[in-house]
Structures are given as structure tokens and as C-alpha cells.
Structure 1
Amino acid sequence: MKDFELAEWSAKIEVGLPQIDQQHRQLFELAATFRGNGDQIRILKSLVMLTEYVKVHFREEEELMAACRYPGIEAHRRLHGEFRRMLFDLLEKAKQMTLDEIADEVTFLINGWFYNHILVADFDYVPSVRAQGAR
């Protein structure tokens, strides 16, 4: 499967909204728990925690976009839905996967989809939030 290191949190992906940046950082920290020694139960619990945290983060981010009347909110919601489906699919398949396969999938989702989502889609709504004076 995929064999690469988990991207680390860095200033490059800070959007400049403290609450959102903290939530993004937490998602990277949760994803990092999939590396190293572990057992199936711990990994599956971590996957459930990651899935639940993503739901909370996306809901809060969408509320922030709605509050500032961000014009691209519907497209952004669709992107969030896509990521939630990918996580849900992984959760469904995880029982038949090895721990390394689960870790590789989580790494791929965070390194690939989520990292790029922050750099493109999240950076796009920040000016709308700043224009409304929201935080």
C-alpha cells in the first residue's frame, strides 16, 4: 500500500483563525496515533475518535462560513461530505484490514485530502471570515 510519513503540522497550513487552526492541529495529532505499535481495538477506537472529531470540526467550520455569508459554502460542504464518506468507508472496511493498512489509509487521507483541503478550500474562506470580523 502507500508508504510515506504523516505530514506534520506546520505554520504553512495555519489559516490564521485560532480556533480552526487548533482543530486542524488536533486532527493531525489524532492521525499520528495510528503509527507505531498498537492493537486492533486501540486503532479502531482511534478511528472512531478521528471520525467524530472530523464531524465536530466540519460542523463548526460550516457554522463559521454561514455566519460570514461565505459564497462558496455549498461547494465547501460538498467537500466535507466527501471526506466524511471516505472516513466512514474506512471505518466500515477497517475490521478486515491489518493495522498497517489502516494506518496507511489514515495517513493518505490526512496527507492527501485533508492537507490539500486546508491549503486550498480553507484558505479560500478566511477572507470572508475576516471581513465580517468573526473569529
Structure 2
Amino acid sequence: MSFELAEWSPKIEVGLPMIDSQHRQLFDLAATFRGDGDQIRILKSLVMLTDYVKVHFREEEELMAACNYPELEAHRRLHGEFRRMLYDLLENAKQMTLDEIADEVNYLINGWFYNHILVADFQYVPSVRAANLQHDE
């Protein structure tokens, strides 16, 4: 599956401040892989990105569960697919060049994740709004 790579933009803000802020943070983290870096810094960034994705997905799934979002299981499967891709990258990173790692992160965040927000995340927002669970903190 191939995706056009895209940068963060207001067009992918879902309108839930906590979620939008977490999404933006993931794009900011992904941007740290561009430019010069050493293997240790890159691997640390990869671990930070993986940890942050886990937190974000958990909070997003809790939000969907709280409003009884009917597509929660399907959404959870998409999150699982993304986590697997990230773990595979983490496993293989030591054998990859820094440019290959940066390209892979770019694909995962600016390709897959960007499209995930545009399609899957936008679908659950009306349920959250209807349940009045906007988590503005």
C-alpha cells in the first residue's frame, strides 16, 4: 500500500484539542528523524516515538470506548497494525542506515498515520461530540 507523504496541517485537526495536540506531537517527533543524526540519537527517538504512539492509541481507544463508538474494534485493529509496523522498524533499525530509518518513519507518520487521521479518526469524532466527551484539558 503506498501513500502520498504529507506534512502536518490544520486540515487533519479533528477538533478535539487533546487528540489534535497528540497527533501534532507525533508529527513533531517524526520530523526529528530528518537531517543529521547519529545511530544512538535516532534509536532513542524511535523508542520515544513508539512509547508516545502507545500512550496516544490507548487514550484514543479509551475515548472511543467511553462514547460506545461502534467501530472501536476495527479502529483498534488499525492501531495494532501500526504498532506492528513500528515494532518491526524498531527490531530492524540496528541493521538499517539512518536514511532508511528516516524514510521509514516518514512513511509511517507522514503517510500511513496521516491517512489514518483523515479517514479513521475523523469517523469517531461525531460520536465523541455526541457523548459530550471532548477532553479539552
Give the structure-2-normalised TM-score: 0.93
Runs of 4+, deviation exceeding 6 Å: none
Cα separation, 1, equivalents of 2:97 and 2:71: 39
Superimposed CA distance per residue, residues 105-129 of structure 1 (whole angstroms, 9 cap, x where no aligned partner) = 0001112210000000000000000
| TM-aligned CA deviation for residue 9 of structure 1 | 1.6
- Match in the other structure for 1:125: 124
Q: Equivalent pairs: percent with the same residue?
A: 85
Paired residue secondary structure (1:130): helix
Cα separation, 1, equivalents of 2:86 and 2:127: 28
CA-based RMSD of the aligned residues comes to: 1.0
Count how many residue pairs are aligned between Structure 1 and Structure 2: 131
- Match in the other structure for 1:12: 11
| TM-aligned CA deviation for residue 8 of structure 1 | 2.2
Where do residues 39-118 of structure 1 align in structure 2 (5 Å cutoff)? 39-118=38-117
Which runs of 5 or more structure 1 residues have no equivalent in the other structure?
A: none
Cα separation, 1, equivalents of 2:29 and 2:111: 16
Which runs of 5 or more structure 2 residues have no equivalent in the other structure?
A: none
Cα separation, 2, equivalents of 1:56 and 1:119: 20
Deviates more, 1:107-116 or 1:69-78: 107-116
Paired residue secondary structure (2:21): helix
Q: Please tell me the residue identity of whatever aligns with 1:92.
A: E
Q: Please tell me the residue identity of whatever aligns with 1:12.
A: K
- Match in the other structure for 1:25: 24
Q: Please tell me the residue identity of whatever aligns with 2:42.
A: I
